[in-house]
Amino acid sequence: MADVSLISCAVGIIFFSAVCYLPTAPVAALSFNYTNFNSNNPSIEYEGNASFSVGYIDISLNEANGMGNSAGRVSYKQPVQLWEWDAATGEVASFTTTFSFNITPSDRNNRGDGMALFLGSYPSKLPDRAAGATVGATLLVVLLFTTATIIVRRRRIKKRREAEDEGECEHGY
């Protein structure tokens, strides 16, 4: 009986060692870091009302008389592949991100609706009619940071640009 356990243990160790030393496919890492912004950075694309200011980016109009229906987008210009393209392996890629930002309205009574970090298909463009509370979002994975309490009615989207009101109130903070 002890011989069977010893053989099972040895086979297990050999199998585990073989799995640990399997060759892996090479991975091309992509890394970028922006601690400051400048107007001549070729890897950043500004759309809509987004613009460069000294050391930072305005993602909407920055005007004393209002920002009504303003939307802008800033994105990394090059495609970033987030999945394994080889259908044979079915491997899924991963990514890690960290960020920090300031939302600083010049006038607390005249502020924008918020900011969204997004993952989208490539190329992704700001919609023609993007404005205000949509924060320029279309069919994307979005992480939204809002600067105000927003009360909206929940709607069922039937097709693009058409929604049915379900009559329930949802609150966002």
Q: Which domains does the chain have, with CATH numbers?
A: 2-172 (2.60.120)
Task: Please name the residues in contact with 45: beta carbons below 8 A apart, sequence gap of 6 or more.
Answer: 73, 74, 75, 76, 77
pTM (2 d.p.): 0.54
In this prediction, the residues of the chain whose per-residue pLDDT falls under 70 are: 1-30, 62-68, 82-87, 89-95, 103-114, 129-173
pLDDT of residue 85: 60
